[in-house]
Amino acid sequence: MRLKIKTLKDLEKESGIALRVTLPTGLWRVFKPEIDHNRCIKCGICEIYCPDYAIYKGGEHFVEVDYDYCKGCGVCANECPAKCINMVRETFV
């Protein structure tokens, strides 16, 4: 609902807690998709089926992954006809 509540910014200012941020859903994932851009056939299917709109066009390659929001669900890897996306287990060292 596009209802601007005046106090939201004031609340943030007072409390010092960010209340209007998007969820950092990139932190949810265990596996991370890695696209092999050499084998990519540029069909765009991964971009269509990403539930988080984390695969986007217009970056350096035909498609890019926004790792800030990718939840690692793996739909892109499963649907890619060229099977050029690998789900790699992420490690935080």
Contacts to other proteins by CB under 8 A: 1-8, 11, 19-25, 28-29, 48-54, 56-58, 66, 68-69, 71-75, 77-79, 87
What length is written for the chain? 93
Nearer to other proteins, 1 or 93 (CB): 1
How far apart (Å, rounded) are the C-alpha atoms in residues 13 and 22? 18
| Shortest distance, position 2 Cβ to other proteins, whole Å | 6
Burial of 92 (0-12, 13-18, 19+ CB in 10 A): exposed
Whole-angstrom distance, CA of residue 41 vs CA of residue 80: 9
> What is the amino acid identity at position 41?
I
Q: How far is the CB of 46 from other proteins (least distance, A)?
A: 11
- CB of 27 vs other proteins, minimal distance in Å: 11
- Closer residue to other proteins in complex, CB, 40/87: 87
Measured from the CB atom, the residue of 40 and 45 that comes closer to other proteins is 45
